[in-house]
């Protein structure tokens, strides 16, 4: 690509001048996080959640937010292409321009404890966003996202208005739909943010499939039933030895 590849050097510089957490260790952490971010972005394409360069991914490392660059195919991204901004959106790593949806990502980090954000244009989720104001409670795994998933009203991509609409829809939730646009999910890691994205797309596909049967309507759960599942999920998994 035409742009300079200076991400690895810039990462070390960020550590030295106080924009990161300091020194070679910080540079190594940023480099590892960038590799994971690129892998996650490529996975959104492989799993059919985005087409081309639509959608974007970010992860926070100390005081740096790493983000996918604007308009660059994910398969072309290399270790030296790292793009990072500070919490105010000032670019501190790399020469490629950050994603146009940077306001949306930064809004999540300002208002939640999230460490990663995944935004996609998943087909079934986007279809649902054009039909309802909230994804009906068709499956108990809505509990994993905080409850019924809301739809943020439409606004032009990359705008402060879209970020504000998204934040309202994300209140007490870890994912939402963007009307006529796509999905946003956040988590404590890229893996968790991606898993929540995939779960949301699956639930949207389920609801659309069940709703398509002529003369029948899907049975829905109550908020109380979903809340009960949320309590059970708190202890789900193997835990730590």
Residues that are catalytic = 101
Burial of 160 (0-12, 13-18, 19+ CB in 10 A): exposed
Whether 138 and 218 have beta carbons less than 8 Å apart is answered as yes
- CA 118 – CA 158 distance, rounded (Å): 15
CB contact burial 216-235 (16+ within 10 A = b; e otherwise) = eebeebeeeebeebbeeeee
Query: Contact 20/63 with Cβ under 8 angstroms?
Result: yes
What's the burial of 21, exposed, middle or buried (CB within 10 Å: 0-12/13-18/19+)?
A: middle
Q: Are strands 151-152 and 175-178 parallel, antiparallel or unpaired?
A: parallel
Distance CA 12, CA 19 (A): 10
Separation of alpha carbons 73 and 77, rounded Å: 7
Distance CA 103, CA 21 (A): 23
């Amino acid at each position: 690509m035409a742009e300079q590849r200076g991400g690895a050097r810039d990462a070390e510089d960020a550590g030295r001048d106080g924009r990161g957490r300091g020194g070679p260790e910080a540079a190594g952490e940023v480099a590892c996080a960038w590799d994971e971010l690129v892998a996650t972005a490529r996975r959104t394409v492989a799993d059919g959640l985005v087409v081309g360069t639509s959608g974007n991914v970010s992860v926070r490392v100390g005081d740096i937010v790493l983000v996918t660059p604007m308009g660059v195919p994910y398969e072309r991204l290399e270790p030296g292409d790292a793009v990072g901004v500070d919490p105010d959106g000032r670019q501190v790593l790399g020469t490629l321009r950050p994603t146009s949806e940077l306001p949306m990502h930064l809004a999540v980090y300002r208002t939640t404890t999230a460490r990663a954000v995944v935004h996609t244009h998943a087909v079934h989720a986007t279809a649902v966003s054009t039909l309802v104001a909230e994804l009906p409670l068709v499956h108990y795994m809505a509990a994993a996202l905080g409850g019924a998933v809301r739809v943020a009203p439409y606004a032009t991509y990359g705008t402060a208005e879209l970020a504000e609409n998204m934040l309202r829809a994300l209140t007490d939730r870890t994912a939402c739909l963007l009307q006529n646009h796509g999905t946003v999910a956040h988590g404590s890691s890229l893996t968790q943010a991606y898993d929540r994205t995939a779960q949301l797309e699956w639930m949207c596909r389920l609801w659309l499939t069940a709703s398509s049967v002529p003369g029948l309507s899907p049975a829905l759960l109550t908020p109380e039933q979903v809340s009960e599942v949320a309590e059970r999920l708190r202890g789900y998994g193997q835990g730590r030895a």
